[in-house]
Every structure is written in structure tokens, then in C-alpha cells.
Amino acid sequence: MRTSLALVLLALSGCAPPTDSDGDASGKADGDSARWADKLRALPGVHAVSQPYDGAFALEIDQPVDHDHPDREHFLQRVQILHRGADRPVVLGTGGYWLSTSAEEPTSLVGANQVSVEYRYNGSSVPASGDWTFLDGRQGAADHHHIVEILKPLYPKRWINTGVSKGGVSALIHRRYYPDDVAATVAYSAPFLFGAPDTAYLAFWDRIPATCRARIQVLQRELLRRRQVMQPKLLAYGVAINSPFVGAPVEAYWDTLVVHWPWYMFQYDDPGDCSTMPQASATDDDLFEYVATVGIAYGAVRGPDAASRFTPFFRQSYREIGFPKYPTEHLADLLSARSRPDLWNPTDAALADAAPLDTTISRDVRDWVQDKGERILVVYGTLDPWAQGAVTPHGADTFRFDVTGANHDAAIGLLPNADRTTLRAKLREWADADGKGDSAVEEALPAPVGRELRYDPM
């Protein structure tokens, strides 16, 4: 299923530039590309404008590291614009990690421009000082607000912000503190957490059929019993994928993998049939191949090299986002005293112990979305463990849809036809669009449009 979805996304959004409001693939609705690039360069704080392909503009925007003290250090934040024309609405993609340049689902459904933003401290959008103090949701929202302020004179039509998972939460945070920046918000698979770890997420496992849950637990115990054989395999595997499991005891890495892999199976794989898991009596090689394929490949445990790309996320998780509690009671007699499977990664002890979790922003935003937010759509998958932290808006013109059988890749395009039609019309109403969505994309639904299959932690 995942391979075919990736091919559909590649065909629809990865290989062709977007069309502008006149259907021209050149992106020249307001003059030629060179003139539009000059307009972008003339905006305050805009640097390094280039055109990676027709209809797209890459740029960097000057941002204060601390928006409360704009006279202090600044950094350059990467942005990419998919340009259809100044007469089209805009979708602001608030990705929670490095820059994603694929078309978001709402972008195609309303035929909009898209402004994609690399989240602060990720990729190359990093302050030179290396000071992590200002990596938080309020500063991230202020980045997005500043970008809207700068670009809106060139793109005066309605804006909608959107994001997936951490990016979805970022969109809601931006909307909470700068409600006039955008007309509406579409958040996918956006979880809220209030602990590090958050024990509320244990309730997810109660929704799993008892027979499936029992099979998982039996397999976990067998994997731990065979640690003397499996741990050397894990070390060799890390070397083979150029991401050695170093910096912590191998026992810690193995325990983390065994405890975490069921979560990632439900987050990213197709867990509908637990009978596809090997029996506990399977060979050592078969058991390791399975847990490596479902666990390591999806990020259930990462060596320092692989984890380094997610360092900003892990830091933010321990400080303000939180992370889920995984079931370990049934494994207590087999876990190593050298492991801490309550951490994201075995090398995270210093991060986890550095500062207490502060959920002030998460609680404030969650409460606002539930009670006061307007024109908000949230989409979750019924098989996504992160949906345990779902938020349900109750304000005017708000919607929550749960996609039956979907996981962390839940999308409007996976909903039944009637719901898809309703939401497509609602998005166009919010965007004040004229119905010029992408016909090729609409014919291809139910495949979600532009979703990158990156296996982020959240």
C-alpha cells in the first residue's frame, strides 16, 4: 500500500510544477518569472531568491531568534513558494521539521499558491550561536506571522495554514496567537501531549483487539529473551546502514527497539492483520528481520547519526511537546537495568533530565482550539496511536473527521466520497477560491496529495 501511494504522490506532485491561475505550468500569472523574483527580492528581509524550477521560488527570510528582542541575534529561515498567481489564495505549510516542498493536500484542492516553511532550528534555518533557548512554539508561531506579514502584499488573497503531525500542531499554535493571519486552519494527525512521558497514551492499546495485543506482547517478550543473540545483530545492522548504535549500552538500544516498535507499526504500517507478525517460535534471523523492518526502518530506535537530524524535535519534546508512554509492565522482568525505554532514544538522558516539561503552550492552544477556534478542520486516522491526543474543535464552522482504517497518513482524500465533497467545498469557501483545483489530483483521490513519507518521530 505504501509503495503505490508513494508512486501516486510522485506522479502528482513531485515531478511537475504547479499550474497558475490561467492553467499555465510556467507560474507566470503576474509577468515572467524574473520579474516576480525581483518583486520577492524587493520585500524587506528577503534574501537569496532563486528558482529551482518553473513556478517555484526558493528564498530565505530574516528572522529574530527571539521575537521579543528583535535587536539581538537573527537567522535566515528557508521558505519555498509554489506560485500560481497573485489572484489565487495561499496555503501556508507549517512543517514542524526541515523544509518540505511537496504540494499540500489543501493546495491542490483549492488551486492555491503554497508557502512552505522550514521550522526554526531545523535544516539550515539555525541560529549561528547554537543557543537552543528560543526553540519553542511561541517563537515558531512568530516566525510564521512574520512570513505572512512580509508576503501578504504580494499575495493579498485569503490564506489557509496547514500541517501534518508536529506541523499540524504548529499550524494550530500559529492560528491561536495570530488568528488574523489566515482565514482557516487544516491540521492533520495533530496530537497534544501533557507528559514526558504522557501516560494518557497508554489508553490507545485498549483500542487494539485483545488477540492482536496478546501477540505483540508475546513477541516482545521473546525478543527480549533472545537478547544475547539479537544484540550483536543490532550492532551489525547499525554499521550496515551507516548509523552505528553507539553512545549508549547495546542493551538500551535493544530494549528501546522492542518496546517502541509496536507503536511505529501502528503509526506508519498496515497493522490491520496482526497475523502477519512472525510466531515467537520463528528463527533468530526471521525475528530480527521483522523487527528491523517494522521498527528500525520506521524510526523506533535511532543511532546518534540518524537521530541527529531530529535533535531539534527531541529537544522540543523534552521541554514543551512531551512524548507518549509505552507499555512496559508486561516486560519489567526482562528489561535491562542499563536501559531507559521511556526515552525517545537511549542517548537522550541528558536532554530528558535537563529541564522539566512545560506544557503551558500546549494546554492553552488545545483549550482555545476546543472552545474558541473557528474555521478549523482536523483529520485523524482511527489506527494512529497519536490520535489518542486528538483535539476536537467546537467553535463556529469547525470539523473533525476520523478516517476509518487510516494511520498517521490520514487525509481528506481517504474519506468517503460524500465527506470529501463536503470538505472540498468548505475549503474553497474558506479560501474564497473559484473552484480551480487540480483536476488531475481530484480524479486521483483518494490518494492524499503531496504527503512526504519521511517517518518522522511524530
pLDDT classification of 21: cutoffs 50, 70, 90: very low
Rounded-to-integer distance, Cα 368 and Cα 38, Å: 40
pLDDT classification of 23: cutoffs 50, 70, 90: very low
pLDDT, tens digit (0-9, with 9 covering 90-100), for 247-303? 999 999 999 999 999 999 999 887 656 878 999 999 999 999 999 988 998 888 999
The pLDDT of residue 451: 41
Q: Which has the minimum average pLDDT: 132-136, 232-236, 283-287, 443-447?
A: 443-447
pLDDT, tens digit (0-9, with 9 covering 90-100), for 395-430? 999 999 999 989 999 999 999 999 999 999 999 999
The pLDDT of residue 436: 62
The pLDDT of residue 93: 97
pLDDT classification of 238: cutoffs 50, 70, 90: very high
Work out the average pLDDT over 384-405.
Answer: 96
Q: Is the pLDDT of residue 24 over 50?
A: no
Work out the average pLDDT over 30-44.
Answer: 88
Q: Is the pLDDT of residue 233 over 60?
A: yes
The pLDDT of residue 369: 98
Instruction: Classify domain 2-192+359-444 at the CATH topology level.
Output: Rossmann fold (3.40.50)
The verdict on pTM exceeding 0.85 is: yes
DSSP-assigned beta bridge partners for residue 162 = 93, 186
Q: Is the pLDDT of residue 394 over 70?
A: yes
pLDDT, tens digit (0-9, with 9 covering 90-100), for 326-360? 999 999 999 999 999 889 899 988 888 887 899 99
Label each residue of the chain as H, E or C. CHHHHHHHHHHHHHCCCCCCCCCCCCCCECECHHHHHHHHHCCCCEEEEECCCCCEEEEEEEEECCCCCCCCCEEEEEEEEECCCCCCCEEEECCCCCCCCCCCHHHHHHCCEEEEECCCCCCCCCCCCCCHHHCCHHHHHHHHHHHHHHHCCCCCCCEEEEEECHHHHHHHHHHHHCCCCCCEEEEECCCCCCCCCEHHHHHHHHHCCHHHHHHHHHHHHHHHHCHHHHHHHHHHHHHHCCCCCCCCCHHHHHHHHHHHHHHHHHHHCCCCCHHHCCCCCCCHHHHHHHHHHHHHCCCCCCCHHHHHCCHHHHHHHHHHHCCECCCCHHHCCCCCCCCCCCCCCHHHHHHHHHCCCCCHHHHHHHHHHHHCCCCEEEEEECCCHHHHHCCCCCCCCEEEEEECCCCCCCCHHHCCHHHHHHHHHHHHHHHCCCCCCCHHHHHHCCCCCCCCCCCCCC
DSSP-assigned beta bridge partners for residue 58 = 50, 80
The pLDDT of residue 297: 85
Residue type, 288: F
Q: Which has the minimum average pLDDT: 27-36, 79-88, 222-231?
A: 27-36
Rounded-to-integer distance, Cα 94 and Cα 117, Å: 6
Q: Taking the CA of residue 227 as centre, how many other CA atoms within 13 Å lie in the half-sphere pointing to its CB? A: 18
∠294-298-304 over CA atoms, to 5°?
Answer: 120
Q: Is the pLDDT of residue 26 over 60?
A: no
- 26/278: higher pLDDT: 278
Hey, where are the domains in the chain?
A: 2-192+359-444, 199-354
Rounded-to-integer distance, Cα 245 and Cα 252, Å: 10
| Residue the block writes with cell 493579498 | 156
Cell numbers for 454: 519521511
The pLDDT of residue 419: 96
The pLDDT of residue 271: 60
pLDDT, tens digit (0-9, with 9 covering 90-100), for 425-458? 999 999 998 766 554 444 433 343 334 444 577 7
- How high does pLDDT run on average in the chain? 88
Handedness of CA 57, 62, 65, 66 (dihedral sign): negative
